[in-house]
Structure 1
Amino acid sequence: MAAKSLISKTGRKLLVTRCISLTSSREQSAWTPDKIVKSPHKDVDIPSRTVPEQIWENMERWADRTAIECAITKQSYTYHQMYKYSRNFAAKLRTQLKIRDGDVVCIMMPNCPDFAVAAIGALEAGAEVTTVNPIYTPHEVQRQITLSDPKVVIGVPETIPVLKEALALAKKDLPIISIKGLDGVLPPETISFQEFALADNVDHSVLKEVRRQPEDVAFLPYSSGTTGLPKGVELVHRNIVVNLLQQNVDTIRHYDETTKSSQDVALAVLPFYHIYGLSIVLLHKLSVGLKVVTLPKFQPNTFTDALKTHKTNVLCAAPPLILFLGSHPGITNEHLAFIKTITSGAAPLPRKDVVSVLDKVKHKLNFLQVYGLTETAPLATAMLPGSENYASAGYAISNTELRIVDTALNPLGPKEVGELLIRGPQVMKGYRNNPEATKKCMTEDGWFQTGDLASIDIDGTVTIADRLKELIKVKGYQVPPAELENVLKEHPDVLDAAVIGVPDARMGEVPKAFIVLRDGHRADAHSITNFVSKRVAEYKRIKDVRFLKELPKNPSGKILRRVLKEL
C-alpha cells in the first residue's frame, strides 16, 4: 500500500511528453529467437563525419547564442567565437608545435570554457585527446603520460606544477600550454593558451592538411582496471558522433531544441575529464545548440547559486549529487524551478533518493537513469521520458543490441541474471597497445563484455544487478584495487597487500586494505594510510587497515576478495 501511494505521489511530477507506449507485440519482439534484445528506438543514420564536423553541423542556427559560460568567472564564448578560437588553436598547434595527424594532446584542466576550445581545437588539428583528472598527483599523471605518449600537455596555473613534476618523473621534455591566471600572469616556462586561441588574423589554411577519418581515434580516456594499470580506451570519431546522434532521437531526447526564442541551459558540474561529462554534457549539448554553464568543481554554495542564477533546464548527475539535491536543506523548489530533466548515471540509484528530489519541486520533470561505460562512448541504455521505473536503467538506445550471458557466454533469457553484453557502433575500437585486454572483453562477433551483472525484462528494460568487476565505487568514482595494492607494496614494511571496497553511508564505498608485513618489520595503520595518501587522489585514499599473517588466495595466486569481505 505504501509503495502504491509513493508512486502516485511522484507520478504527478513527471513530464510525459515523448514517452513510448510499447504494445504487447512490441514487448515480445524486444527479444529475438536467439536471445538478442533489440532497441525500441528507430536507428539513426551514421554520417561520415569527425567530432568537430558534427558539433559545427548546425552552428549557423545558433551562431550568436552563448555556447559556454563559467558560472564563477562569467567568462563566456558564443558559438561563432568557439568555432573561430578552436580553429585558431588548431592552426597554432600545427604550425608552432608541429602537431600532426594522430599525435596525442594531453589536457589536465577543470571544467571551464577554455577546456572546450582546447579539446575541440586539438581534434581540429588532427590530434587525439587524452584527458587527466586535475586533482591527480604527479605519480598518477606520470603513468598516464607514459602510457599515452603525448606531444603537448595543456593545463591551468593550478595544475602546471603537477604536470611539470609528472613530466620529470616520466623523463619527458614536452611543450606545456597554460591558461593565464585570474591575475593575468602566465606560469613560467609555459606557452600562453590565450595567444594561441584568441589571436587575430590566424591563417587557417594549414588545417587543409588534416586528414582525419571517422575510424580514426578521437579520444583516449583511461579506464580504471582491476588487474593492473589503467587502460587507454580508443574511441574513434564515429563512436562519439553516433552516440551524440543517438541522444537526439525523438523518443529519447531529453532537451528542447534551440530556436530563435529559446535555448535550454545545461549545468556542467560532472567533470569533462570523465567520458560522461565530456561526451554527454559538453560535446552533445554543444552539438545541439544548448548553453553549457561550467563549474570547475563541486562546491555546495557555487552549485546551488548556479542552479538558480542560470535557470538550469538540464542537469546530468551522478548518485552523490542526487543525494545532495534531495538531502541538503539549502536546495528548494526555487533552485529547481526551471529543471526539465535530470539524468543520473555512474551507479544504480536508490528510489528514495529520487523521491527526495521530486518532493522538492512543484512542477513536472523527467528523472531518468542512464547506463554506459567509457568503452561505449559512453551511453548504452536510458529510461524513457515519463518513466518512473527508477530501478531500471531503461532500454537499449538506437542501433544498440544487448545480451545476457552466463559465465560460459551462453545466452540467457528474460529476467535471468548474467553478464550484460553490448553491441553497437558506439563500442570502442579497443584498448591502446593492449590487444590481450581487448580480446578478453570483445567477442569475435563484436559483443563487448561489460563486466556488469544485469537482467532484462520481456519488454527490454534493463536492471543492473551488481558488478562482476572488482572496482570500488567511491562517490561515483572508480577506484581499482590493483592500483592501490601496487602503491601499498612500495611501502618498505609491506610484503603483500589486498584492497576491497567496504560500505560507507556517505561515500557509497571506501577502500580498506589488508596488509602482510615483512618479517621483522613493524608499521601502524597511520603510517600505511599516510604513505598512500601522498601518492593518490583524495577519493582513492585508504580509510581502514587490517594486518594479517597471510592473504587468502586460490591455487593460482589470485586474491580471494570474497573471503576478505567475510572477514
Structure 2
Amino acid sequence: MATAKVISRNVKNLLVCKSYSVNVTVKHSVWTPENIVRSPFKDVEIPKRTLPEHIWENLERWSDKTALVCGTTNRSITYHQLYKYSKNFAAHLRTNFHITDGDVVCIMMTNTPEYAPAVIGALEAGAEVTTVNPIYTAHEVHKQLLLSNPKVLIGIPESVPILKEAMRLSNRNVPIITCNANNGLPADTVSFEELINDDNINKDVLKQVNKGFEDVILLPYSSGTTGLPKGVELTTKNIISNCVQQDTKEIRHYDDTTSSHQETVVAVMPFYHIYGIAIIMLHKLSVGAKLVTLPRFEPTSFLKTFEDHRISLLCTAPPLVLFLASYPGVTSKHLESVNRIVCGAAPLPKSDIDKVLSKVKQNAKFFQVYGLTETSPLATTFTQDYKKYTTVGFPIPNTELKVVDGDFKNLGPNQVGELLIRGPQVMKGYRNNQEATKNSITEDGWFRSGDLGSIDVDGSVTIADRLKELIKVKGYQVPPAELESILKEHPAVLDAGVIGIPDPRTGERPRAFVVLKDGLKAASKDIEEFVAERVAEYKRIKDVMFLDNLPKNPSGKLLRRVLKEKYC
C-alpha cells in the first residue's frame, strides 16, 4: 500500500482546514514534547511464535468452516484441510525438494484457494516466500530470480512458460511445482495437488525447522525512490506484530468468528502484493474469516461473488471503489451484506466514498488505511466511526510517527514534512542492500516513508504528496528507473527519462523522454513496442517525446522534476 490521500502541488492549502471533533479512546498522550506522535491506542503484546502457529492458534474454533473458496469454480478448502495441506506440502519441501531454513520459495500465481497452503506450507518448511506478479514478462521475472535466488518455483499452467523462460534468462534451473493443472500437467513440473494430498509423507522432518522470531519469512520486492527492485525483508516479528495490531477493538475491521458468524471477504486484491498477502490472506485467516478468491477483476464474476457469497468485508483499492460507485450494474442489492469497506493502496476522494456508501446499508463503516510494503504493511487506520476522509486515520498500536523537515528537525501539529514511522512492523531491511537500508531506516529505528504529510493535534495523519517518484497506474507502482533502463537497451536510444502524467482513466501513465544516438532514427511506435515486449501491460509507455538532451544536476542525476515542470 502507498499513499491513501494525495493532494498534489499546493501542499500548504492542507494547513487551512476546519477542525473536527474526534471520538477516539485515547489511552495516553498523543504528542510528546519532542514532537513525536504516539498511537492513541494501548500497546498490544506481540506473541513470540511462528506465523503458522499464530494462524493455527484458534483452529479448533473454526476447523470445519470454509477458509478459502474460488469465486469462479466454487472449489473450497476448510480450515482443517488448510492445516493438513500446509503440513503435507511443508514436509515435501523439506524431504523431496531439500528446502532448508532460509531458502527462498517463489510463487507466481493468480489468486486461488491453493495460494494459502503454498505460502503457509513454505513457511512451515522454514523457507522465505517471495511473490511475483502473474502478469509479469519473463524479462521482469528473471530479474527477481537473480535477486532472490529461489530454490523452488510455484506457478499455474499459464505462468509455467514464463517461469521457464525466466530461468533460461537468469541461467537458473530449479524445480517448478504447478497448481490447478486440470487440463494436464506441464512438462517437467510437479503436481501441487499430489503433494498436498499425500498424507503418508513423514512430517517429523518439520521438527528440524528452527526459525527465529527475527528471521525473515516474506521477501516481497518493492521499488523505492531509485526505481530499482529491492527485496523487503519482513520477519516473523513484523508480520505477527501487524496482525495483532489490527486486532485492537477500536480499529478492527472484522467481527469475531463464532458458531453463527464468519466474515466473508472478497479476495480480488492480488496475493502477490503485500496488501493482499498480509492484510487479506494471512491476517484474515488468523481470525477465521472466509476468503472468496478471484483470479482477476472482471465485472460480471466480481458482482456474482457478492450475490453467491454475501460478502461482509470488502478490502479494496480506489479502482474498485470507483467501479462500485459508478458502474451502472452495481446496485444496493449487491452490497446489502457489506458491513465494512477498507480502502488502501492509492488516493481516494471523499465524493467517491460518499457514492459507494450511498449504495450500502446505513450502518456500514468505511476505513481508509495507510502503509507500505516496508511496514508489513499497515501503519495507520480509521477508528470504527471516524469520517474525516481527508486523513488516513491514526497510528495503530505500538506505532510512533513524526514529521521532519529537510534538516531532519521534528515538526509540530499540522506542519508538512516527510512522514517517519517507528514500530515492530518496520522491516528488517532491504536484501543485500545495506546502502538502501541505511538511507531508509535511521539508527534509532525510524523508517523514512518518502511521503509528505502532516499530523493533526488529535494524531490523525494527512498524506499531502509523494516525495517518491513512483508512477501510480490503476494503483500499481511503476518505477521510472526500470522503464528508463529498458529504454536505454533500444539500439537507437542514447538516454531516457520517464515521469508520470495525469490520466483520467488510470490515474497516471508513464511518459518517456528519449534522446537518440547521433545519426540514428526511431519512431515513437518503435520505442513503445520495444518496451511493451519487456513489461507488464500497466507499465507500457504510450507517450514518447524526443529531446536533444535531458536535464541533469552537476553529478549527472536526472531531474525528473524539471521534465514535469517544462513539458507537463
Q: Which residue of 2 aligns with 1:151?
A: 151
Deviation at 1:199, TM superposition (A): 1.4
Normalised to the residue count of structure 1, the TM-score between the two structures is 0.95
SS at 1:334's partner residue? coil
- 1:160 pairs with 2:160: yes
**Tell me, which stretches of 5 or more residues in structure 1 are unaligned?**
1-18
Letter in structure 2 aligned against 1:74: N
Alignment partner of 1:456 is 2:455: yes
Task: Please tell me whether residue 42 in structure 1 is matched to residue 67 in structure 2.
Answer: no
Match in the other structure for 1:469: 468
Whether the aligned pair in 2 keeps the contact of 1:119 and 1:129 (CA below 8 Å) is yes
The correspondence of residues 352-367 of structure 1 with structure 2, limited to 5 A, is 352-367=351-366
What corresponds to 1:61 in structure 2?
A: 61
Q: Is the 8 A contact 1:226 1:481 kept in 2?
A: no
1:113 is paired with a residue whose SS is coil
Q: Distance in 2 between matches of 1:254 and 1:505?
A: 31
Runs of 4+ in 1 over 6 A off after TM superposition: none
| Cα distance change of structure 1 residues 27 and 550 upon mapping to structure 2, 3 Å threshold | farther
Give the corresponding residue for 2:335.
336
SS at match of 1:361: coil
Distance in structure 2 (CA, Å) of the matches to 1:494 and 1:487: 10
Q: Which letter does structure 2 place at the counterpart of 1:520? A: G
Change (3 A) 1:145 1:530: same
Deviation at 1:343, TM superposition (A): 0.7
Aligned match of 1:544:
543
Aligned partners of 1:259, 1:84: CA distance in 2, in Å?
Answer: 22
Structure 1 residue 419: Cα displacement: 0.2
Give the TM-score normalised by structure 2.
Answer: 0.95
Match in the other structure for 1:5: none
Q: Is the 8 A contact 2:23 2:386 kept in 1?
A: no
Q: Per the alignment, in what secondary structure is the counterpart of residue 491 of structure 1?
A: coil
For 1:521, the equivalent position in structure 2 comes to 520
220-229 or 328-337, which moves further after superposition? 220-229
Check whether the contact 1:234–1:429 (CA below 8 A) recurs between aligned residues: yes
What SS is found at the alignment partner of 1:387? coil
- SS of the equivalent of 1:117 reads helix
Question: 1:257-289: CA deviations, max 9, x gaps?
Answer: 000111110110100000000000000110000
The equivalent residue for 1:13 is none
- Following the alignment from structure 1 to structure 2, what is the Cα–Cα distance between the partners of residues 403 and 429? 20
Task: Measure how far apart 1:151 and its partner are.
Answer: 0.4
Separation of aligned partners in 1, 2:558 and 2:191: 49
TM superposition shift of 1:228: 4.7
- Residues in 2 aligned to 1:248 and 1:292: alpha-carbon distance in whole angstroms: 18
Shift of the alpha carbon at 1:362? 3.7
CA-to-partner distance for each residue in 1:21-59, whole Å, 9 max, x for gaps?
A: 337xx5992100000001011111011111111100111
Which stretch has the larger CA shift, 228-237 or 454-463?
Answer: 228-237
* Partner in structure 2 of residue 175 of structure 1: 175
**Which residue does 1:200 correspond to in 2?**
199
Map 1:265-344; keep pairs closer than 5 Å.
265-344=264-343
* 1:148-205 Cα deviation digits (max 9, x unpaired): 000000000000000000000000110110024233x111100111111111322211
Q: Which residue is equivalent to 1:502?
A: 501
Residue type at the aligned position of 1:506: R
- For 1:350, the equivalent position in structure 2 comes to 349
**Are positions 1:21 and 2:27 aligned together?**
no
Q: Equivalent residue for 1:248?
A: 247
Please tell me whether the aligned partners of residues 142 and 166 of structure 1 are also in contact (alpha carbons under 8 angstroms). Answer: yes
Deviates more, 1:344-353 or 1:283-292: 344-353
CA–CA distance in structure 2, aligned partners of residues 547 and 219 of structure 1: 41
Q: Aligned letter for 1:202? A: I
Q: CA deviation at 1:555?
A: 1.1
Distance 1:28 1:210 in 2: 41
2:28–2:40: 8 Å Cα contact kept in structure 1?
no
Once the two structures are TM-superposed, the CA of residue 386 in structure 1 deviates from its matched residue by 1.3
Q: CA separation in 2, counterparts of 1:22 and 1:294? A: 34
Equivalent residue, structure 2, for 1:397: 396
Partner-residue secondary structure (3-state), 1:335: coil
1:490 aligns with 2:489: yes
Give the match for residue 85 of structure 1: 85
Q: Which runs of 5+ in 2 are unaligned?
A: 1-20
Over 3 Å counting, the alpha-carbon distance change for 1:150 and 1:28 in structure 2 is closer
Give the % identical residues: 62
Q: Offset at 1:561?
A: 1.4
User: Aligned partners of 1:229, 1:448: CA distance in 2, in Å?
Assistant: 19
Distance in 2 between the 1:362 and 1:89 partners?
42
Letter in 2 for 1:248: D
Name the structure 1 match of 2:440: 441
* AA of the residue aligned to 2:239: I
**Matched residue, 1:238:** 237
Distance 2:70 2:160 in 1: 20
**Alpha-carbon separation, structure 2, partners of 1:271 and 1:180:** 17
Residues 293-345 of structure 1 deviation map (CA, whole Å, 9 limit, x = unaligned):
10011111111111221100011111111111101011110110000110111
Q: Count residues in correspondence.
A: 546
2:313·2:338 contact (CA, 8 Å) conserved in 1? yes
Aligned-partner Cα distance in 2 for 1:345–1:376: 14
Which has the higher mean CA deviation after the structures are superposed, 191-200 or 271-280? Answer: 191-200
2:563 is matched with: 564
Confirm or deny: 8 A CA contact 1:381 1:394 kept in the other structure.
Answer: yes
| In structure 2, distance between residues paired with 1:167 and 1:460 | 48
State the secondary structure of the residue aligned to 1:46: coil
Q: AA paired with 1:472? A: I
1: distance between equivalents of 2:104 and 2:562?
Answer: 42
Are the aligned partners of 1:28 and 1:458 in contact in 2 as well (CA < 8 Å)? Answer: no
1: distance between equivalents of 2:386 and 2:22? 9
User: How large is the Cα RMSD of the aligned pairs?
Assistant: 1.3
| 2-structure distance, mates of 1:167, 1:202 | 29
CA deviations over 1:186-235 (Å, ceiling 9, x no partner): 11100111111111322211101111121110100000133252100000
Letter in 1 for 2:70: C
The secondary structure found in structure 1 opposite 2:342 is strand
Whether the aligned pair in 2 keeps the contact of 1:20 and 1:384 (CA below 8 Å) is no
Aligned residue number for residue 9 of structure 2 = none
**Paired residue for 1:12?**
none
**SS of match in other structure, 1:420:** strand
Matched ranges for 1:56-135 at <5 A: 56-135=56-135
The CA distance in 1 between the partners of 2:307 and 2:508, in whole Å, is 31
Give the C-alpha shift of residue 20 in structure 1: 7.7
